[in-house]
Structure 1
């Protein structure tokens, strides 16, 4: 009987500690704390992890992959491989004609011809805006700061559906 009492005591201690941990998590992030109204028990709601998907055949996915990898490369500018990687990404994702257009823009404006800026955004998103006549278009949104009113710019990207190469980059108003 003695061992049973100890087990009960340890179990009760574990439940109390678990409840304290749940309440502590709820204090850290109130969205995670949930109280069951029928039983009065406390639980922590699991936060859904964002899923990332891709399809190499989809033009918008390829544009998203390019911008994500490109921004990662130039963000890590202290890494010796970053510059070479950014250059390789340009050659892989952009058509030869668009590579020349980007280089001409950079020589004239002294700014990055992929981002149309001299600095690196903190966030990016890509939305497909349609397709037709062998091309697909996407709108890239670059966010340059955090906070309530972040600065945002947009770039219209055209992709050739046959080659899957980016054929045109234009700042979008």
Structure 2
């Protein structure tokens, strides 16, 4: 991996962690449901564990959603591609690419648009893999539209090895 790609990936991950905390904090405090952009919140701390597979999936989805959300930023597409390269196994990248060719939609989000919120929860492990459920929220309000994705990760490499819409 080149130094530039590594630096871009680290920057995207750090940005995602900060933005994730800023996005989650108002919701936990009973934030508003206004459709106007919120001012950037300043957080006093954040934490994570690079050994935690669920955290790894959450870091990926946070950074990836930030990159595709910022479509007007010239570096956004390169960041999203770098994130896929770092977090997904070669097999998962092939499966995602095949889905995108077939469905003309993003193979990470299983959609053509970008969610406004996301959440990751551990759902189990076995045979050297862990599974997480990613919940994507597509709108604000009292009855937001959500979709769910089951994400499988290799426990040794922490690479995402499989993604599928949850039934």
Q: Please give the range of the TM-score, normalised by the shorter of the 2 chains.
A: 0.7 to 0.9
Aligned to 1:144: 138
Structure 1 distance, partners of 2:99, 2:131, is 21
Aligned to 2:99: 105
SS at match of 2:71: coil
Aligned to 2:58: 64
Aligned residue pairs total: 126
After superposition, the C-alpha distances for 1:34-88 in whole angstroms (9 at most, x for unaligned) are xxxxxxxxxxxxxxx7964311111000000000000000000000000000000
Aligned-pair distance for 1:132? 1.5
Query: Pick from 81, 88, 91: which aligns with 2:82?
Result: 88
Aligned-pair distance for 1:153? 0.2
Structure 2: gaps spanning 5 or more residues: 1-29, 31-42
Structure 2 distance, partners of 1:149, 1:50, is 31
Deviates more, 1:49-58 or 1:110-119: 49-58
SS at match of 1:164: coil
Q: Which has the higher contact order (CA 8 A, sep 6+)?
A: 2
SS at match of 1:156: strand
Alignment RMSD = 1.5
Give the TM-score taking structure 1 as reference length: 0.70
**Aligned in 2, Cα 1:149/1:134: closer, same or farther, shift over 3 Å?**
same
Aligned to 1:164: 158
SS at match of 1:112: coil
Structure 1: gaps spanning 5 or more residues: 1-30, 32-48
After superposition, the C-alpha distances for 1:132-157 in whole angstroms (9 at most, x for unaligned) are 11100100000000000000000000
Larger radius of gyration between Structure 1 and Structure 2 = 1
**Aligned in 2, Cα 1:84/1:94: closer, same or farther, shift over 3 Å?**
same
Structure 1 distance, partners of 2:137, 2:154, is 26
Structure 2 distance, partners of 1:141, 1:66, is 14
Structure 1 distance, partners of 2:86, 2:139, is 29
Give the TM-score taking structure 2 as reference length: 0.73
- Runs of at least 4 residues off by over 6 Å: none
